[in-house]
Amino acid sequence: MFNIIIFGAPGSGKGTQGQILTDRYQLTHISTGEVLREKIRKQTPLGKLADEYISKGQLVPDNVVIDILTKFFADNPTSNGYIFDGFPRTLRQGEAMDEMLAEKNESINVVLWLDVDDDELVERLVNRGKEMGRNDDNLETIKSRLKVYYQKTAPLKKFYSKQGKLVKINGMGTVEEIFSRIEKVIDSLSTKI
Ligand code: B4P
């Protein structure tokens, strides 16, 4: 199994590159953001709760997203490899994920950190807000998401760097250019496993 975390600030291309990676390597993909948006669309109790946080640019509480991951593993007990997109976003989530994988005698192989300038992040998200109408893609909420990213999510870089798993990818450029950088990293690592 080859397990990947795709990591980065909001708008860094996690969802975009995560989907391409899933198709290219036949991985099992989870985007916690997508799962939460689906619950919001269906107006489930969890969706209503998540909406209160997402619409303000805040993180949904750890226990809620950790439960989503637990269910994901129950629904997908075996795989070629998993790709985690938008999870973990806090140290507690990272620790919980390591424990869940250890129970399956598995671990994370690589954390791909998509590094993108803040100005570019804001521009991508503002554009998506105009095109797709996602209610968390407005300037005020985007600023708060970036602040939360630097406070709560960016410390995970140290967590994975200490484990020797963090690989920085230049996330500026076209989708194809960025994917080709990712592909080189995965191909070089997977031959060593
Ligand atoms: P997510 O769905 O993960 O949203 P995101 O961080 O904004 O990134 P996303 O993956 O959607 O965007 P991408 O970078 O691909 O989370 C949404 C919310 O859910 C969070 O704010 C939080 O509240 C909550 N949540 C989710 N997971 C959670 C967790 N684990 N814990 C707590 N809360 C959680 O792309 C952005 C845009 O850029 C797209 O429009 C794309 O087309 C464009 N783009 C991509 N690559 C590009 C490129 N190279 N050039 C130009 N544009 C590009």
Residue with tokens 């993108």: 116
Sign of torsion over alpha carbons 148, 152, 158, 159:
negative
Angle subtended by helix axes 32-42 and 62-75, to nearest 10: 100
Residue 108 phi, psi (nearest 5): -80, 135
| Helix (H) or strand (E) segment spanning residue 38 | helix 32-42
Contact 81, 27 (CB under 8 A): yes
pLDDT of residue 165: 97
Q: Is the pLDDT of residue 192 over 80?
A: no
Spacing, Cα 192 to ligand 1 middle (Å):
30
> Which of 5, 7, 14, when mutated, tests ligand 1's pocket best, judged by the most ligand atoms within 8 Å of its CB?
14
Q: Is the pLDDT of residue 193 over 70?
A: no
> For ligand 1, which residues put their CB under 6 angstroms from it?
10-16, 31-33, 36, 53-54, 59-60, 65, 86-87, 89, 93, 124, 128, 136, 145, 174-175, 178
Question: pLDDT tier at 191 (50, 70, 90 boundaries)?
Answer: low
CATH match for 4-183 among 3.40.50.300, 3.40.190.10, 2.30.30.30, 3.65.10.10: 3.40.50.300
Spacing, Cα 143 to ligand 1 middle (Å):
14
Spacing, Cα 79 to ligand 1 middle (Å):
24
Spacing, Cα 184 to ligand 1 middle (Å):
23
Count of residues for the chain?
193
Q: Find the mean pLDDT for residues 46-69.
A: 97
Q: What percent of the chain has pLDDT over 90?
A: 94
Contact 97, 68 (CB under 8 A): no
Angle subtended by helix axes 62-75 and 45-54, to nearest 10: 130
| Domain spans of the chain, in order of start | 4-183
